[in-house]
A = this chain, B = another copy of it.
Amino acid sequence: MSAEIICVGTELLLGDILNTNAQFLAQQLASLGIPHYYQSTVGDNLERLQQVIEIASKRASILIFTGGLGPTPDDLTTEAIANFFNTPLVERPEIIADIAQKFASIGRKMTPNNRKQALLPEGAEVLPNPSGTAPGMIWQPRPGLTILTFPGVPSELKRMWQETAVPFLKSQGWGKEIIYSRMMRFRGIGESALAEKVAPLLDLTNPTVAPYASLGEVRLRVSTKASSQADAIASIEPVAQQIRDIAGLDYYGSDDDTLASVVGRLLREVGETVSVAESCTGGGLGAMLTTVAGSSDYFVGGVIAYDNRVKISLLGVNREDLEQFGAVSHPVAKQMAAGVQKQLGTNWGLSITGIAGPGGGTQTKPVGLVYIGIAAPDGTAQSVEYRLGAMRDRESVRSIAAANALDLLRRRLLTRKNKKL
């Protein structure tokens, strides 16, 4: 009993898009404890699709397809599956009605080619797509073989997976022995440094601890197999506690926590507000803070001071300091933070000024040089210098800068909260 992932789309074979669906589904199968030994990718071609189905249906008992469900003639997944199992396609009126209603809700009219998405093999169940027009299906074409299809659009697939496929698979008895993981997140420490600090834990066999690194962030995945979530947590928690003790303030959260959600929680706890003043990030820090629903409770707003005139007019940055020290400097970062704090009447002011590149760097102020200013409720302002490295691209520098600003605020809020308690 195992599952196999089949990704359909010529765009994958041409390298036009990155196959993030395969990773998502692989993680999901692992968390449900469903064995998974093969993944295949094939283009929008009926014959080759059927060949892949033939091979996979011999190896696995659950086939999971992504892609090729859309309204255009090159979307062939459903047709290939139905053909392979010699089953006619039947138009489902409930799908037509759903698609028509979705088009109406955005003020558009359903075009005739959308009818194609309403065709499913006889006997297949609709796997509803709440965020798009192409539904998937759940179908048992023969005993011992289950087929699930999903569109290729990652956000649609994820929602369909979580809302319908997971309950279905659990109803089939999967997910009893679960692989349970906690992803612990760290900021302000490198992968090898963290790995060295927690070295003895990396040799554990149950739970296991594995390090991962991504843009400016390190993670430790603590995993165990267990028959219930409670058992899993009981196995994981002592190790997680050891890791938290070792990492101290560099640990910021787990699983779905983000720097923005953690900072938001802390601001709520201390009952304080924040505003932002951004130069090189152009709004990215505000955008990051407001990824959290309900962030209006503590995020008031900000000033995007891309041009120096805005730094002067809206943030009250001193013109002479701008000329003497340059826009990318400690004094300007501090004044930006204090300026937005005052202008918007918030407890905290957070600012970013830096050289995102690729141009604009000099010997003394290279690409990747970023100053983050923080104005505190006690009326003081400080600035921290970061050298994010000339090897990083513009978007990496900008996104690490915004995250570092949040991390700076997080550390200050933690200290403040502990003082208040």
Interface residues of A (CB under 8 A from B): 10-20, 22-30, 36-43, 45, 48, 52, 55, 70-74, 102, 105-108, 110-114, 130-132, 153, 155, 159, 179, 181, 183, 190-193, 195-196, 202, 210-215, 221, 223, 276, 278, 280-291, 293-296, 299-307, 309-310, 313-314, 343-345, 356-359, 387-396, 398
Please give me the residue from chain B that is nearest to A22 by CB atom: B19
Q: How many copies does the complex hold?
A: 2
Minimum Cβ distance to chain B for residue A24 (Å): 7
Please give me the residue from chain B that is nearest to A212 by CB atom: B11
Q: When the two chains form their complex, are residues B131 and A391 in contact, meaning their CB atoms are under 8 A apart?
A: yes
Q: How far is the CA of A77 from the CA of B20 in the complex (A)?
A: 24
Q: When the two chains form their complex, are residues B307 and A14 in contact, meaning their CB atoms are under 8 A apart?
A: no
Q: When the two chains form their complex, are residues B212 and A16 in contact, meaning their CB atoms are under 8 A apart?
A: yes
Q: When the two chains form their complex, are residues B14 and A27 in contact, meaning their CB atoms are under 8 A apart?
A: yes
Q: How far is the CA of A267 from the CA of B196 in the complex (A)?
A: 51
Contacts of A112 in B (CB 8 A): 196
Q: When the two chains form their complex, are residues B291 and A304 in contact, meaning their CB atoms are under 8 A apart?
A: no
Q: When the two chains form their complex, are residues B71 and A192 in contact, meaning their CB atoms are under 8 A apart?
A: yes
Q: When the two chains form their complex, are residues A39 and B38 in contact, meaning their CB atoms are under 8 A apart?
A: no
Contacts of A13 in B (CB 8 A): 26, 30, 36-37, 39
Contacts of A299 in B (CB 8 A): 282, 306-307
Known pairs A14-B181, A16-B221; A153 contacts B214 (CB<8 A): yes
Q: When the two chains form their complex, are residues A293 and B358 in contact, meaning their CB atoms are under 8 A apart?
A: yes
Among A41, A192, A302, A358, chain B packs the most CB atoms within 10 A around the CB of A192
Contacts of A30 in B (CB 8 A): 13-15
Q: When the two chains form their complex, are residues A73 and B202 in contact, meaning their CB atoms are under 8 A apart?
A: yes
Q: When the two chains form their complex, are residues B286 and A282 in contact, meaning their CB atoms are under 8 A apart?
A: yes
